[in-house]
Amino acid sequence: MIKNKDRSGYIGASDTKYVIGNWETKTFKKWWLEKLGVSTEHFDNKYTLAGTNYEHKIIDALNIPGIVKDKQIIIGRLRVNLDANTDEKIHEIKTYNYEKGFDLKKHKDYVDQVQVQMYASEIYKAEIDAYGLIEKDYKNYFNDIDLDRLSFHEIEYDEEWLKIEYLPKEKYLEECLEKGKFPNVEEFKNWRNKKYDII
């Protein structure tokens, strides 16, 4: 649970959907302005607030020896925050509405986020630990964790996806961030042709 809300100057693992998405949308441009430090919007609702407040309780309920909370890794302009990890495995905590259920197939962005976490941390085993929140949890952050509402989803490391899809775009965006400019798709294509050793 990282308390610093300033996301400017760095690209996070949770930003992966923007890195690999369409750079010409309004959504991307709004996100990029935040990265450049021009815009400082931060959005919370009852779902995000509950997720943040339950995160450490969920980690504690896992009861895993040697687990570390809130490790941060910085590689250039890539800043990755792990919810929890041991030396062997990353534990990414996600909360969801228990009544609606959790289907990882609908959350490719979660999987992509964990791929970046594995790359940055060099911990090549990871799982998403999903916890279903019920209505009383959104109103009171002090409820006990119900282990029956926890599910565990192993994520297999995909080095090829990182090399081909993610890292070239992330490295190019890092350069744009350092130069304080907007990325350009055509420029990226030319840039990529000149770069070989991404990993």
> What pLDDT score was predicted for residue 59?
98
Least confident of 36-40, 105-109, 139-143, 179-183: 36-40
CATH topology of domain 11-189: Lambda Exonuclease; Chain A (3.90.320)
SS3 call for 25:
coil
Closest residue by Cα to residue 80 from 156, 169, 170: 170
157: CB partners within 8 A, 6+ apart? 115, 118, 124, 125, 126
Q: Are strands 126-133 and 150-155 parallel, antiparallel or unpaired?
A: antiparallel
| pTM as predicted | 0.93
**Phi (first) and psi of residue 90, to 5 degrees:** -90, 140
Residue 160: CB partners within 8 Å, gap ≥ 6? none
Domain boundaries, the chain: 11-189
Token couple for 146: 């119900």
Q: 104-136, pLDDT tens digit by residue?
A: 999 999 999 999 999 999 999 999 999 999 999
How confident is the model over 60-84, as pLDDT tens digits? 999 999 999 999 999 999 999 999 9
Quote the strand ranges of the chain, DSSP E.
11-12, 68-75, 78-85, 90-97, 126-133, 150-155
